[in-house]
Every structure is written in structure tokens, then in C-alpha cells.
Structure 1
Amino acid sequence: MRRALSLLVVVTALAGAVQAAPATQIGVVLAGSILDFWQAMSKGMHRAADDLHVELVIRSPSDGMSLGAQPNIQLSMIDYMVKSGVAGIVLAPEPLQDVATPISVAVPTVLVDRSSTDYNAISTVSTDNFAAGRAAALSLVPVLHKGARIAVLRLAPNISSTTAREEGFLTVAREMGWRVVIAPYVGYQFRETEAQVRKVLTGDVGHLDAAFAPNETTAYGALHVIEEMPAGTRPRLVVFDWRPEFQDALERSMVYADIVQDPYRMGYQAVETLIAALEGHPPRPKVFVDVVTVTRANMNDPAIRAVIANYNR
């Protein structure tokens, strides 16, 4: 009887030890946490972590902090995670300052949302941003004439994703013979960006036919400014990314078209790519996640609604 009881205790202890075995930890360092884009991406990462039975350790700076008051803060976060024992890292890289690059992180690293030459990474999961910028411009081709006056509301000079979108848009503009009369950098903080957009758009002399805002903050600022304009002077606004108020703006024709990324799927695939690599499956160097062009005419199509729904999971 005592022997049977002892065996039961041993089996129970072993079962408890198996249950208590720690899950693989994956570090995540994004470029912010407030924007709807980053929140949707985080949800996709958490879903992937649940499906693949890993734990996430997330440390992200405040939106735009790496570009201003705390340059290179992501390096400190990466260092903390490596020392804490994560098996790999998913990183949305912000530009580094006064640091020798490329940096080789001590664990496998997958970039998400944007490419970067600052890090040695095994894969990049992102939108094909140049092609998406072209898609933004192509949405305007049916309604703009040669010589149309265009504004490109650039985000910042050192963000590879938005720079590629801007260049893609400008490529089509040159092909179509449009005149880009405004192309300033308007910044990445909501309030400051809106102020800069208001300054450049209301200061323009002459009719503006269209404007392109290549990310969530520039789109938000541009929408507010264009809403204030008299109806007959509003340029057609093409925006990037998704916020709930953009749906109403599309319905009211304040936004002409919205190029919507799928950050939920992007986040899921970044974690999935890293886990597969840790299990010995070499990843593709680049993994592109499709965008959709949303207009007033197609915004209720099932495929469009499915992508938008990923922001609300």
C-alpha cells in the first residue's frame, strides 16, 4: 500500500512538473502602442501566441518617442529581452542614431511593418509599401487630368515604410503628368501633424486637386483640415491605414480612397515566421501582406469588411 502511494505521489509530481514547464518566450518591440495600427498588430500577435503556445514579452516605446526624446530606446528594450531569456524577437524598427550598424541581435529577429538595414534579421513581414503607394495614386487616375495639382503629406525622412509609399505614389504622379506642388514632412504626432497640414494646405495658392496622406497620423490630420475647407475647394483625399472615423469620412466623400493594411495578419505572420524559424524551418527573406483599396463604392464588400474587422477583434 505504501509502495502504491509512493508511486502515485511520484506520478503526480511528474505531471505537475510537465504542466509547469515554462512556455517559449518571444520578445516584441514595436514602434508604438497608441495608434489603431499597432493595437491591431498586437492583437494578431497575441492570437498567434495563443495558437502556437508561446508567451509574448512586449516592450514598446510611446508612439514617436524613438524619433524624438529617446533615440535608440528600442536597443535598451531588445537588450533587456535578450538578457531575460527570450528565444527570439519581433521588431518594428525605428531608425538608430550614432550607432554602428548593422546590429546582430543575439537571438533570431523578424522585422515587422518595415525593412531596415540597421539590423541583421532573418525575415521581414510587411506591406509591399512601394506597390501600396502606387495603388493609392492609381485610385486617382480615373478622376485626375494631366497637370493636376497634388500634395504629398510626407511623414518623416527616415521611416522606410512611409518613404516607400510616398515614392510609389510619386512614381505614378510622374507617369501621369501630375504636378506635385506640396510635399513637406509634417511629422508623426497627432496634434503637431494636424497643425503642419493645416499650415501647408491653407497656405497654398491655387486649387489643389488631390492629397495623399501615407499613414494614420497624417491621414487623421489631413481629414480634419480638409473637412474645414469650403465644399468647392476640397481636394480628393487618399489616406493610408484605418480608423473608425474614416468609414464615416468615406460615406460623406471626405475621403476619396483609403489604402488599408492588415496589421492583425501582419502581426500574426511575424510571430508565426519566427516560431517556424526556431523550429528549423528557414523563412522567406520577405513576406508581403496584401492591402485593400477601400472606396465609398466597395466599402461594404465582404472582402473589404473582413480586413476592416481585423482592426476590431
Structure 2
Amino acid sequence: MIALAGAVQAAPAIQIGVVLAGSGLDFWAPMSKGMHRAADDLHVELVMRSPSDGTSLGAQPNIQLRMLDYLVKSGVAGIVLAPEPLQDVATPVSLAVPTVFVDRSSTDYNAISTVSTDNFAAGRTAALSLVPVLHKGARIAVLRLAPTISSTTAREEGFLSVAREMEWRVVIAPYVGYQFRETEARVRKVLSGDIGRLDAVFAPNETTAYGALHVVEEMPVSTRPRLVVFDWRPEFLGALERSTIYADIVQDPYRMGYQAVETLFAALQGHAPRPKLFVDVVTVTRANMNDPAIHAVIANYSR
């Protein structure tokens, strides 16, 4: 084919690599949606490579690092990364292209910015939702996720800081894991000895919340503790309506994903990014679940 004289070929789109920490949890779908919307608005191309949920923490440690290596070698201009902890690797790892963290921070990689929830503050928000209904000495369970995940650890510590201030008794605080079935089984085991004696339970992420909800639903209504959860799943709506869930602290992963791509793109254009950008959470309760602002955040979770 002979090119027409004077024809101008469009420059190839900037490619941005994305490696999240999973793909199956409901949390990742709106984040991906926000990233794709930002890519469309900014006329860049996303190249996404994400492991299955929990793979990096179990069967395939450092799988993200191999994905990152592939993306750099394929020529992406920058990377958005939801980092999982590395094992037996010299850290911090410096990637050959600018990197923006999303959802969580990490000391395992060098990054120019982090776009996330203020997780310590959000953990405090979760606990503060209970202040009007709990008394000094109230018995609390905190269902920790895993010690190596910075985002949930910060939420747990934020919740515990309020518990100390209010002089609640944290009688259960185990690590219950990140896989749905195993987590639910562990939650059932750790709560079984305190049925009827717990005043509240805090579950700091989607998997712990899912397991805690199922276990609490099995308890007689008169013995159920107030359940405060983090993140969103469709079944949480009915649980809020039935008051099985007392409060749900819901992140905005759509905005998080959009702003992470936007921040990286601006950096590639020469604009220095802010080191930390926090995206607000909303506290969903039975009383406010029909508010337009709440609906706007939850709507982004639909696939």
C-alpha cells in the first residue's frame, strides 16, 4: 500500500502497565473500571497483568515481580502497582520506569506516589461507629487478615487505637487469612467459644467480612454481636437491611484506580506527584444506605 502524500500517522498511545494484588475479589472490579475510564480520558493504553487473589502470599511468591519484569521489557512507560510482599529478594526493588502504588504502600519497591484509603483513619472510623452503642469494658473481636498486608494492618491498628481509648476489652484478635473458605472456617472456630459474650466484631477486608457475616448469621439473633465490616459485596446490602451488619466502611476503588492512572500519567508529562493521595471512605448503615452519595460509591461495584 502506498501512503498518501501528506498523510499524518497517529503517534502510538502511551502504554501503562498495571499489576494488582488479585482479580477475583469484588474490590478489584471497580478499581479496574476506574483505571480504564482514566485511560480512555487520557488516551493511554493499559496493559494489565494481575495474579489470582492470594497467589503471591501462598503458592507463587514473587509472582508480581515476574509480571513487572514482563511489563518493563514489553516497553510500558510506567506502572501502577498494588504491591504484595516479596520473599527472599533484596529490597527495595527499583523498577526501570516510574511506579505508582495503589490501594496500599510498600517498602519492597520504590514508588513516586501512593493512592489509597487512609487506612489507619478508616479503621478508627470503623471503631467510632460503635462508640454510641458500646460501654466501657465491652468485649471485642478483631479478625486480622495477615501480618504482611500493610493496608489491613493499618485498619486493624486504627480500630484498636479507639478500642484502647474507649477501654473496650479486645478478647479475640487472631489472623484468619485471606481465602474465603479457610477464613470462614477460622472465624467460626475463633468465635465459637464466645457466642453470646461478644459485643462487637470488626472484619477489616472483604474476605474476613464475608466469613464473619456467615458465622454471625448462624448465631441466635439475641446473641449476635454488632458486626462492623470493611469493603463491599452485594450480599452486604441485605445484611444491612436485616441489621446483621451494623456498619460497613466502604472504600472507593473506582476513584482510587482513576487517580492512580491520572497521577502516573501526569508524572510522565513532567509534573511532580504528591507522595500520598487519600481517597475517602463512606460509612454505610441501615439508616443511610439509600442516600445518593452512598449509592454512587456502591454502584461502581457492579460488574
Of 1, 5, 9, the match for 2:4: 9
Matched, 1:296 2:286: yes
C-alpha distance in structure 1 between counterparts of 2:268 and 2:195, whole Å: 57
C-alpha distance in structure 1 between counterparts of 2:240 and 2:250, whole Å: 13
Runs of 4+ in structure 1 deviating by more than 3 angstroms, as ranges, are none
Aligned length: 302
Partner of 2:80: 90
Partner of 2:57: 67
Deviation at 1:22, TM superposition (A): 1.7
Partner of 1:3: none
Matched, 1:252 2:242: yes
- Residues 125-162 of structure 1 show CA distances to partners (whole Å, capped at 9, x for unaligned) of 00000000000000000000000000000000110000
Matched, 1:40 2:30: yes
Correspondences of 1:44-55 after superposition (within 5 Å): 44-55=34-45
Matched, 1:140 2:130: yes
Partner of 1:129: 119
- Look up the SS of the partner of 1:10 in the other structure: coil
Deviation at 1:311, TM superposition (A): 1.3
C-alpha distance in structure 2 between counterparts of 1:198 and 1:79, whole Å: 40
C-alpha distance in structure 1 between counterparts of 2:287 and 2:139, whole Å: 25
Deviation at 1:206, TM superposition (A): 5.7
User: Which structure's residues are more often helix, by fraction?
Assistant: 1
Q: Which amino acid aligns with 1:95?
A: P
C-alpha distance in structure 2 between counterparts of 1:55 and 1:106, whole Å: 19
Partner of 2:191: 201
C-alpha distance in structure 2 between counterparts of 1:93 and 1:250, whole Å: 31
Q: Does the 8 Å CA contact 2:203/2:212 hold for their aligned counterparts?
A: yes
Deviation at 1:9, TM superposition (A): 2.4
Matched, 1:108 2:98: yes
Deviation at 1:304, TM superposition (A): 1.0
- Look up the SS of the partner of 2:194 in the other structure: coil
Deviation at 1:309, TM superposition (A): 1.3
Matched, 1:243 2:233: yes
C-alpha distance in structure 1 between counterparts of 2:88 and 2:51, whole Å: 19
Deviation at 1:205, TM superposition (A): 6.5
C-alpha distance in structure 2 between counterparts of 1:141 and 1:306, whole Å: 27
Distance 1:205 1:257, change over 3 A: closer
- Look up the SS of the partner of 2:280 in the other structure: coil
Distance 1:229 1:206, change over 3 A: closer
- Look up the SS of the partner of 1:256 in the other structure: strand
Q: Tell me the TM-score normalised to structure 2 length.
A: 0.98
Matched, 1:163 2:158: no
Structure 2: runs of 5 or more not aligned: none
C-alpha distance in structure 1 between counterparts of 2:254 and 2:284, whole Å: 17
Deviation at 1:67, TM superposition (A): 0.3
Q: Which amino acid aligns with 2:273?
A: P
Q: Which amino acid aligns with 2:265?
A: I
Deviation at 1:29, TM superposition (A): 0.2
C-alpha distance in structure 1 between counterparts of 2:15 and 2:177, whole Å: 35
- Residues 197-240 of structure 1 show CA distances to partners (whole Å, capped at 9, x for unaligned) of 00001133761000000000000000000000011111000000
Of 247, 265, 269, the match for 2:255: 265
- Residues 64-115 of structure 1 show CA distances to partners (whole Å, capped at 9, x for unaligned) of 0000011111000000000000000000000011111111110000000001
Q: Tell me the TM-score normalised to structure 1 length.
A: 0.95
RMSD of Structure 2 on Structure 1 (CA): 1.2
Aligned residues with identical type, % of pairs: 86
C-alpha distance in structure 2 between counterparts of 1:205 and 1:39, whole Å: 35
Q: Which amino acid aligns with 2:222?
A: G
- Look up the SS of the partner of 2:5 in the other structure: helix
Of 200, 203, 224, the match for 1:210: 200
